[in-house]
Amino acid sequence: MDNDDGRRARLQQRLENAVARGDLNIDEYSDLCAAVWDTSHDEDSPELDAIAGRLERLDEARARTNPGQGYDGPGASISPRRNLPAGRHTIGVTPPADRQKGSPAIFGDHEIGGRWAPQPETTWWSVFGETKIDLTEADFPGERLVLDVQSSFSEVRVTVPRGTRVVVNATAILSEVKQRQDPDAEANGLTVVIDGVLIFGELKIRER
């Protein structure tokens, strides 16, 4: 067991590795991180020993099920955007304070994509404009993401990772909704819910 002053930091790194691999979900990760940095626990406390033991068991289980890959071990450094098993898209670990809100497009265009980190619920206004939301490389805050679309005389395009479940709850008034997804694509464990109101507009959903 580690007993020096860097133990909490090493446990934090191992937790990040575990959630990036899909061994922990985001809620488990948050709870364990809070316990790691709880100052009421000493660095050699049973609580931290229990977390270290759980991580060791996860590493051992991963090594058994993926013998060719081995495991990352304590202090290993891996990309936080490593793909999750079974075709699941990565759920990131960006702190809530650093996640992005929605943006307006009024008499203009707004496009967002690449490696960005949306909040769990965002609102997008579009009036006589065009909004493009690309989630294919986004750092998802969890398994469920809500987009509140408020659109008038505008076009909104949403691109999701292949295998994402999309639920359209938006009200379309004299508007058109086009959803193009492969029904045979392997589910990636993510759900994108589209709420809001569209008036004299168009909503296009596709996957990539």
For 190, phi then psi, to 5°, come to -105, 150
pLDDT at 84: 45
pLDDT at 71: 41
CA distance 94 to 26: 11
Domain spans in the chain, listed from the N-terminal domain onward? 7-65, 96-207
pLDDT in tens, 75-89: 343 344 444 444 445
Q: How far is CA 12 from CA 9, 39, 48, in A?
A: 5, 14, 11
Mean pLDDT of 28-49: 85
Give me 20's structure tokens. 């990036």
pLDDT in tens, 48-75: 888 988 888 888 776 765 554 444 444 3
Determine the 3-state secondary structure of 145 from DSSP: strand
Residue found under tokens 């759920």:
91
pLDDT at 166: 95
Better pLDDT: 81 or 16: 16
Mean pLDDT, the chain, rounded, equals 82
pLDDT at 187: 86
